[in-house]
Structure 1
Amino acid sequence: MDVCVPKRTKAGLLVLALLLVWSLLAPPAYARDGTTSQEAPARVFINAKAAIVLDVDSGKTLYAKNADELLYPASTTKLMTAILLVTHLHPDDPVYVSADASRQPRVRLGVKPGTTLTADEALHALLMKSSNDVAYAIAQTVGGSQEGFARMMNLKARLIGCTRTNFVTPNGLHDDTHLSTAHDIALILAEAIKYPQIVAVLQTQSYEVAGKQIRNGNRFAYLKDPTFGEVIGGKTGYTSKAMYCLAFAVRQHGRVRVSVVLGAPRKSFMYRETRRLLEFAMDNRQVQLV
């Protein structure tokens, strides 16, 4: 027996079918916070030329903007200098400051040519005050010359997985061919914090070297109970061409995360954007950097 379906009911079924097809094919609607009903990542603007947050334990990149773009790394370079210092000298070994080292551009520790520091003193001056003269002295002591030390830096960079880095100076002072990437600097910091001696210095706020009282130039070293995890430490950098750079490591939920920003136009942006990136990681936010 045939069932007669009213025309009005047939029309209603057709409308429902069309609405179902449209809902499957239409693009998702965006909410005010930039997310969608399908949880698409919110787009977040970053002033820095390049940025990355790396989960060190897994090797996974959590957030990235131009992370493989070649840029000037400024004094974040000194993280590699520190690695070679602690792996080639004992803390009490001498580091000789030559006339060439003492003439390096500021920032300097400012000791006279012929001064001898211990390797531990040199490490503090290198990472806390970002002393260019001490970085050069380390290069001459460990590598015999700046050129020899640069070869050691580049070899170590390759061994830890850096594929685009080319170091020329031990201090990050400008050279057109002294280049790295946010991703490579993240790998270098991840390597540096494997050494307790380096971590201890990164967390030191004040220290005396050769009769000079120095303070840590990284303002994040003074944070108490930060919103983005337990501070491990990091290194700032600046030149007029590199602009403001910061590589920083924290521990979040038992995991080590490293943030790097390169080429921030202002110092305040460098710190603010590092904080934001690490807070995103702390909260497991889904964001896309632009």
Structure 2
Amino acid sequence: MFSVRRNRVWWRALVAVIACGWALMSAFAPPQVQAETARPPAVNVKAAVVYDATDRKILYDKRGDEPMYPASTTKLMTAILLVQHLRPEDLVYISETASRQPRVRLGLRPGTELTAEQALLALMMKSANDVAYGIAETIGGSQAGFARMMNVEARLIGCTHTQFVTPNGLHAEAHTTSAKDIALITAKAVTYPRIVRAMQTPQATIAGKTIRNGNRLLYSPPASIGQFIGGKTGFTSRAMYCLATAVRRPSDGHILVSVVFGAPRKSLMYRETVRLLTWANRMSPSEHSAS
């Protein structure tokens, strides 16, 4: 009887020693082992990046430099040129050609004039192709003239895989950019308070038409992604679903930009964006600096 009890005590002591050993091994594990908990997600999109705009570092990269069709994320560049060249009260003219742009559009008649601020709201909230074309003609004189301005600005921002042809992202074979370049353009766009206000406006009435912001993240952004700043959705049958999103990380105030290109479904466009930004927010400062 005494021998059985002694054996039980011995086994309990052995189990306690092993448990302590595992705890010590975990506490002093090499950084590469600890980093396993912060392994980046595998996302179901054609291309994706997460960019720390404050440190100017790429944190996540899946085919980030590959030229692809950007759909309406193109309108981020159109918005940048609008606020650079037009005051809020300046007028944007809708021509016959602008009014005939394919959906999505605001549905304005030829000869309609909008203030630049109204045009910016229609661009960011409704993703109105007719308004984007009107902005291009007003600022650049023509689509081709505006495209040249877009490409010059893209080079100034640091884009290396961008060739814009249209102001709205409607399909054109030569109209391509990369996820990294759109991340740089998004980071530039959110430095303009006018653009951020438009991105964060849930509803507005323009030319007698009430529009609602089409970005679902505006209405109920998960706390895990950080403080939502704004972004731009996009879709064409060739580009599939695209989304650029900017947030502020609570831990240090850094601006993080997520870009996903080519999601097969709209729901995946949002889900993978949330997964990427949640992961980026959970990374430790040392892991950020090592990326």
Question: Shorter-chain-normalised TM-score: which range?
Answer: 0.7 to 0.9
Match of 1:150 among 143, 147, 150: 147
Residue 55 of structure 2 aligns with which residue? 58
How much has 1:227 moved relative to structure 2? 1.9
What does 1:200-211 align with in structure 2 at a 5 Å threshold? 200-211=197-208
What does 1:148-227 align with in structure 2 at a 5 Å threshold? 148-223=145-220, 226-227=223-224
Q: Deviations over 1:93-145 (max 9, x none)?
A: 01000000000000010011110000000000011000000000000000000
- Which letter does structure 1 place at the counterpart of 2:220? L
Contact 2:52 2:59 in 1 (8 A): yes
Tell me how many residue pairs correspond in the alignment.
253
Residue 260 of structure 1 aligns with which residue? 259
Q: Deviations over 1:198-252 (max 9, x none)?
A: 0001011001111110000100111256321001000000000000000000000
Q: Secondary structure at the match of 1:214?
A: strand
Q: Secondary structure at the match of 2:224?
A: coil
- Relative distance call for 1:98 and 1:242 in structure 2 (3 A) is same
Between the aligned partners of 1:213 and 1:261, the Cα distance in structure 2 is 29
Higher alpha-carbon Rg = 1
Contact 2:40 2:279 in 1 (8 A): no
Match of 1:78 among 75, 80, 83: 75
Instruction: List alignment gaps of at least 5 residues for structure 2.
Output: 1-30
TM-score by length of 2: 0.84
How much has 1:43 moved relative to structure 2? 6.0
Any runs of at least 4 consecutive aligned residues in structure 1 with deviations exceeding 6 A, and if so which?
Answer: none
Between the aligned partners of 1:224 and 1:48, the Cα distance in structure 2 is 20
Residue 277 of structure 1 aligns with which residue? 276
Contact 2:78 2:167 in 1 (8 A): yes
Q: Secondary structure at the match of 1:227?
A: helix
Instruction: List alignment gaps of at least 5 residues for structure 1.
Output: 1-34
Between the aligned partners of 2:82 and 2:67, the Cα distance in structure 1 is 25
- Relative distance call for 1:69 and 1:99 in structure 2 (3 A) is same
Residue 119 of structure 2 aligns with which residue? 122
How much has 1:276 moved relative to structure 2? 0.3
Report the aligned-residue RMSD. 1.6
- Which letter does structure 2 place at the counterpart of 1:153? M
Q: Deviations over 1:261-288 (max 9, x none)?
A: 001111011000000000001100779x
- Which letter does structure 2 place at the counterpart of 1:273? E
- Which letter does structure 1 place at the counterpart of 2:70? P
Between the aligned partners of 2:72 and 2:41, the Cα distance in structure 1 is 27
